[in-house]
């Protein structure tokens, strides 16, 4: 089952229900700058209680509470050019000194939960101090080095597709089309087309224009016949070849 946490994190109740009631392993795609920490904690709680394996796929960015959601999963995959950002929570507040003190106590408790999730799989003993000092920005390979349940995502399929030349894709599509035509003919019991007989040499004099005939055509305003330079029939691009060409253009 595939779920996505994209954009700002606010209402995640639908994804929470999906993971809570999952009947199979879950792939959770994360591409988010963060958002509401308590909405994120609800999803973290659902992940921890899920009876099946939850794997996070970080794409582009997992920052703030989105990073916590990803790190709470059983396994995490990240690309080498993707980004993770870790920090303590922050908020807007207003009120008297008692209200401000209550907000500080609340934020202190939230930070403890954030640090518990981060340090569970973290290899860096100084991560708490680094986060307390400010935002911690990491690229994919640094995330892999820091956490024991994170792996670098290999773009094997993309590399393979990118190295395939456009000419090779065209030839493969044409070959597939010819094989399909042969199979159809076999099913319809259509006999194979006979090979063309060799052409017999013709009398070269017969191909030469008759001067008297051309003179008559000029007098009658009949246009002279031109050499046959008919272009070959344009190749009709099949649908499967169009799809391959489109994929090749996207890879460039």
Give me the residue spans of the domains in the chain. 2-153, 155-185+237-252
- Kindly give the residue spans of alpha helices, DSSP state H, lying in the chain: 13-20, 37-49, 65-71, 97-119, 127-133, 140-146, 156-163, 166-187, 204-207, 211-219, 239-251
How confident is the model over 35-56, as pLDDT tens digits? 999 999 999 999 999 999 999 9
Average pLDDT for 126-146:
97
| 98 has pLDDT over 90 | yes
Would you state the pLDDT for residue 159? 43
How, if at all, do strands 150-152 and 75-78 pair?
parallel
- Secondary structure (3-state) at 118: helix
Look at residue 241 and tell me whether its pLDDT is greater than 90.
no
Using pLDDT thresholds of 50, 70 and 90, give the confidence band for residue 178: confident
Q: Quick: pLDDT tens for 24-33.
A: 999 999 999 9
pLDDT in tens, 150-160: 999 986 544 44
Instruction: Say whether pLDDT at 208 is over 70.
Output: no
Beta-carbon contacts of residue 40 (< 8 Å; ≥ 6 apart): 9, 12, 34, 65, 66, 68, 69
Give this prediction's pTM.
Answer: 0.63
State phi, psi for 244 to the nearest 5 degrees.
Answer: -65, -40
Mean residue pLDDT of the chain comes to 82
The winner for highest mean pLDDT among 49-53, 220-224, 245-249 is 49-53
What is the CATH architecture of 2-153? Alpha-Beta Complex (3.90)
Q: What pLDDT was estimated at residue 175? A: 73
Tell me: the pLDDT tens digits for 99-129? 999 999 999 999 999 999 999 999 999 999 9
pLDDT value of position 158: 43
Please say if the pLDDT value at position 206 is more than 60. Answer: no
Q: Does position 4 have pLDDT exceeding 50, yes or no?
A: yes
| pLDDT score for 43 | 97
pLDDT > 90? residue 1: yes
The pLDDT value given to residue 41: 97
């Amino acid at each position: 089952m595939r779920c996505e946490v994209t954009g700002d994190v606010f209402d995640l109740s639908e994804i929470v229900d999906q993971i809570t009631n999952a009947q199979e392993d879950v792939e959770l795609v994360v591409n988010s700058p963060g958002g509401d920490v308590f909405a994120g904690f609800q999803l973290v709680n659902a992940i921890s209680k899920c009876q099946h394996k939850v794997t996070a796929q970080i794409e582009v960015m997992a920052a703030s509470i989105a990073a916590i959601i990803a790190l709470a999963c059983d396994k995490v995959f990240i690309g080498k050019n993707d980004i993770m950002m870790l920090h303590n929570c922050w908020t807007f507040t207003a009120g008297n000194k008692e209200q401000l003190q209550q907000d500080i106590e609340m934020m202190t408790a939230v930070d403890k939960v954030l640090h518990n999730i981060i340090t569970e799989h973290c290899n860096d003993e100084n991560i708490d101090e680094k986060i307390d000092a400010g935002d911690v920005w990491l690229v994919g390979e640094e995330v892999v080095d820091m956490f024991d349940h994170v792996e670098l995502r290999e773009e094997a399929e993309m590399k393979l597709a990118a190295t395939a030349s456009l000419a090779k894709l065209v030839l493969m599509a044409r070959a597939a089309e010819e094989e399909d035509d042969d199979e159809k003919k076999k099913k319809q019991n259509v006999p194979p087309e006979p090979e063309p007989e060799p052409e017999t040499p013709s009398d070269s004099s017969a191909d030469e224009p008759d001067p008297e005939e051309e003179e008559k055509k000029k007098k009658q305003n009949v246009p002279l016949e031109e050499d046959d330079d008919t272009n070959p029939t344009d190749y009709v691009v099949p649908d499967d070849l169009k799809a391959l060409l489109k994929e090749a253009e996207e890879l460039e």
